[in-house]
Amino acid sequence: MGTSTNAMLVYGYHLGGGDGEWLLQDAGEYGELPTLDWYTPDSEDGDDFITAAEKRLLAQLADFTETDWQADGYFDRERAAKARVSVEFESHCSGEYPMYLLAAKRITAYRGEAEEIDFPALQAELEQDGADAKLRAALDALGLRPTQERPRWLLCSYWG
């Protein structure tokens, strides 16, 4: 099995985290994740931060709280709910030590590939989709306040 070495261009917020410091205004003295009413790191359900955050966004922004993945049509309903949320978490850095982004748009250049970027078209698409407002709604639903003032284009790497 090989190792992925990808470049990602993401429009959104860098949240940090993983084994590194969280890039949040309310982070602890050493960059610890602030207390959140929807996430307990040592909870019995075993959800990691991203899984818990995705569940929170589905519930808060798309009114999707189903848990029975064996129910008829579950995955179709979940897919529709994720489309309504219209932002997602991305990991960067490495598979063993991930850091997190909240993104409205992601472009990945996989090893050996080159991606042509049309920034005016991308910016027009983001404005038409209301990407900034969707990102803000997600941050509000999660109770997160990034140190980054507003969404930006972020170039990052992934090795894993």
Report the C-alpha gap between 106 and 155 in whole angstroms: 10
User: How much is the pLDDT for 2?
Assistant: 59
Report the C-alpha gap between 140 and 137 in whole angstroms: 5
The domain tally of the chain equals 1
Structure pTM?
A: 0.90
Q: Which domain does 101 fall in, by range?
A: 5-159
pLDDT tens for 2-53 read 577 889 999 999 999 877 899 999 998 889 999 999 998 776 677 888 999 9
For residue 27, the one-letter residue type is: A
Contacts of 53 (CB under 8 A, 6+ apart): 38, 39, 89, 142
Handedness of CA 154, 106, 77, 75 (dihedral sign): negative
